[in-house]
């Protein structure tokens, strides 16, 4: 078996640390999770964290970027493989339904968003990630409207803000009160919202 190059070894270490961070952040929350816990979960010393990431904030931002990249790829795949507006909407709702299964991720993002609201150096890269996510969702919404022979009543990224805010707010409410906010309400709400836009 060929030996890994230094860059390949470094990248593998970063991926292991990111995987460990995903689990530790989900279990402990952003504020309570420590770099020591993440390094231990990945079977590394704490020094491995700081040789790969400047801080806990930088580690979380890269983890968020990795997760968002996966979502952007998924949206592009929906766009490439769908032939009707219904297929696009169904594919989009399937992605959002994952929030029902991983409410911890929504809680994590909200917890970090509060931190970003207090610190400009954290807010700037956080905002850039979300702008990119809204752009990608906006492109998919434009395609959905075009296949339905309709036009969006607002700018695509504005509609994306509505949908992402709806998704985040409902996911938070379900996390706090699952009996009152049942699973599936999120996707039903987004479907009703999008379909109402396309009827105008």
Residue range 125-132: mean pLDDT, rounded: 93
156 close to 139: Cβ distance less than 8 angstroms: yes
pLDDT > 90? residue 132? yes
Q: Is the dihedral of CA 56, 59, 63, 65 positive or negative?
A: positive
Q: What is the pLDDT of residues 172-195, one digit of tens each?
A: 888 888 889 888 899 999 999 999
Quick one: which of 85, 192, 90, 195 has its CA closest to 149? 85
pLDDT > 60? residue 88? yes
pTM of the full structure? 0.88
């Amino acid at each position: 078996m060929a030996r890994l190059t230094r860059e390949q070894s470094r990248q593998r270490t970063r991926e292991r640390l990111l995987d460990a961070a995903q689990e530790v952040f989900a279990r402990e929350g952003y504020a309570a999770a420590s770099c020591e816990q993440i390094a231990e979960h990945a079977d590394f010393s704490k020094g491995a964290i700081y040789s790969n990431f400047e801080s806990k904030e930088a580690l979380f931002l890269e983890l968020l970027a990795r997760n968002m990249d996966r979502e952007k790829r998924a949206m592009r795949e929906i766009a490439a493989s769908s032939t009707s507006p219904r297929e696009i909407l169904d594919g989009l709702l399937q992605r959002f339904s994952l929030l029902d299964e991983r409410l911890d991720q929504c809680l994590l993002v909200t917890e970090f968003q509060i931190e970003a609201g207090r610190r400009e150096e954290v807010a700037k890269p956080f905002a850039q990630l979300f702008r990119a996510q809204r752009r990608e969702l906006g492109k998919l919404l434009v395609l959905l409207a075009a296949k339905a022979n309709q036009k969006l009543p607002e700018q695509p990224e504005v509609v994306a803000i509505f949908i992402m805010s709806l998704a985040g707010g409902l996911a938070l409410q379900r996390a706090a009160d699952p009996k009152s906010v049942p699973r599936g309400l999120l996707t039903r709400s987004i479907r009703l919202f999008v379909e109402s836009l396309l009827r105008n």
